[in-house]
Structure 1
């Protein structure tokens, strides 16, 4: 695999104090990448878009790199606590080459119940 097919993704903690960077592959799902890093992204519905437990806040300058959210995703985001204009469900983001240096923040209300 060439370096050109790797995408840098930054996960920023809710308090902004911790940043984890990872090189992901073109085609990887952001939820899977975050969970592999131990990020508090529960993903209760396993990517079926039936919950909002994988909610992330995309940095404003990176938001345009993503394809538009579907109506179903927007409906789920309406249920997410602390949702913002740049909120997305990480299960709905498939990483692509044009998304390099994507930065997402974990919402302050995030709780990963899988680790309990």
Structure 2
């Protein structure tokens, strides 16, 4: 999916470069028809290129926003699940430690200690 977005951005940059060259070669007016047959809009080629470059940038941003948003939501969901699992494990461990008799805890050597219990 990232490759497709990358290729689309490259295509938009290539179109922008081509339009820039066209602007430099032809400093004239461009007539853009308005919707619903209400006449036309006359703009210089430079303004027209800038307008369409902004439209292309908005399009590229709209292509890139949904994957970023989905990744953010996925990470938030994973963080929430991990926190819930850790809380359950902590509660289970505390319950098991609380259920052990105190005498057993006092006579059990700490792990890693070399002290031997008398027989």
Structure 2 length as normaliser, TM-score?
0.22
| Bigger strand fraction | 1
| Bigger helix fraction | 2
Greater relative contact order (CA < 8 Å, ≥ 6 in sequence):
1
Structure number, greater radius of gyration: 2
